[in-house]
Structure 1
Amino acid sequence: MTHAHNAATGGAPAQTTADTATADKTTAEKTTDRAADSGKALYGGKQNRRITVRDLALAKERGERWPMLTAYDAVTAGVFDEAGIPVLLVGDSAGNCHLGYDTTVPVTLDQMTMLSAAVVRGTRRALVVGDLPFGSYQEGPTQALRSATRLVKEAGVGAVKLEGGERSLAQTELLVSAGIPVMSHLGLTPQSVHTMGYRVQGRADEDAHRLLRDAKAAQDAGAFALVLELVPAELAAEVTRSLHIPTIGIGAGAGCDAQVLVWTDMAGMTAGRVPRFVKQYAELRQSLGDAAKAFAEDVAHGAFPQEEHTFH
């Protein structure tokens, strides 16, 4: 009856509770769309500038989840940058993926500087984080500052990453005080593979409490984000809830703020078995091998080059 009266007198129909909820939902959706269109979203946003550590902090406040991939060269980094990946890690995993080493331990600061510079040159939007390799910061804060300064000045990275909790807090504090953003790394720390091996970290109560303490200490030391590698999902979720800085999981469940994969694992370039936590989104190793074989067959049978590939 109210609806009919309003219609007859030219007034607006009265909204029911369901109508109000729908209107509120629509408003919320429009607000989300406006935020994305204005470039606030890390993934899918439209910033015409580099992502910064402040952007990551704001994403944590919004509850936004975001992706991170490794990159080691300008061409691949450019592809990921165009795809909208907001953070690229120039990991010392390059040792395993590109340099032919069995572990990350042999990777040098010179190599990391060269690879990081290539990734920076190949990108425009992504925040590029350079790994401090084994032996480049363990001596103490002064060595860490010297090494991180090289990555910032010579390679142009926007942040650096280092492994360890309490053992790296002094390094983190000095780097942050010098104006160099630091991403910390807990759980399985590959540079310590000779002492801890490749296994899930933090399953025992004592280990879980230690990891939680290390995470809070890293935050207090000024780290802007925290990688959690091979950590039980429940523990990673607890760490994420306990921190105001974003957590980045790799084999740490879905409760982290972000997820990272080594790009050669993600794209199916890695030979043999991949870790359980990896999802392969392509089969590039097979595709690249097929392309190489097709080229070789054409050359062997005189089918390449043809006239359209020839100059006169």
Structure 2
Amino acid sequence: MRNPYDVLGVSRTADEAEIKKAFRKLAKAYHPDRNANDPKAKDKFAEVNSAYEILGDATKRGQFDRGEIDAEGKPRFQGFEGFGGGRGGGAQDFGFGFNAGGPFGGRRSSRGAGAGADPGEDFFSQIFGEAFRSAGEGARQQSRARPRGQKGEDVNATLTVTLEEVAGEAKKRLRLPTGRDVDVVIPKGVSDGQVIRLRGLGAGAPGIDPGDALLTIKIAPHDRFTPEGSNLRQRLPIEIEEAVLGGTIRVPTLTGAVEMNIPPMTNSGRTFRLRGKGLPGKTGPGDLLVTVEIRLPEVVDEDLLAYARKRRSAKAE
């Protein structure tokens, strides 16, 4: 069976409510009573139920995450740990004292124990057969290569987000290099180039704890706003009459346009602060800093030309 997380379409960090919601949705979609003409629906329905049997049970979910059971809920081979303590090589693996100082030390089986053979291994081979010898050797080799507590590799991924998604603390789906799809909520106060560690979502293997996913956030350039921490900057053109006479102008923000009053005789380059109209921050929303730029008329205005000539002449005198 496939990975139960993939079957239900949830991430490894999904909580109980998310898992239950995903299960109910898929069970309803694939229920045989609703898919009488689809012969594959029954198999899909069974697969969804099997996945939920593992992820819907906290104990089984923990066992699966630790690699103790497979996707069908069957125990994985753990190197006969049930017989004793560690995973080291030799008879001490099984805790029965078959090494030289144990109660069976110095005695060799007459059934094919060659020079240097482990008497403990030979004893169990007589009971369980050659399958035990092969499995035990494979387990010891695996144990030597991957000691208990070893962590898998970290993986790197990049998530590109827009300023609108940052402002809305949006949830985005991302496929990690491991092939797993995860839902990432854009955190408050995130900045361009920031690296977020997603614990336990890296590479792993049975008996090895998975590494982490290192997620680099890239904020896409915006045609209107420039982020500065949790603040935003914007350059806004205004008409010359608005600059001279003052008035109310409309200012675009990430969450919709708002009105802003400017005083008479406002110079080009003056900056106004709209509080709380920036990006979400760890201690509260940032501000929008609006710098106005006077825009001259596209069509020649004779009155404006006459006024400019008059002022030039007055300065020349």
For the pair shown, which has the larger CA radius of gyration, 1 or 2?
2
Q: Under a length normalisation based on structure 2, what TM-score does the superposition of the two structures give?
A: 0.20
Q: Under a length normalisation based on structure 1, what TM-score does the superposition of the two structures give?
A: 0.20
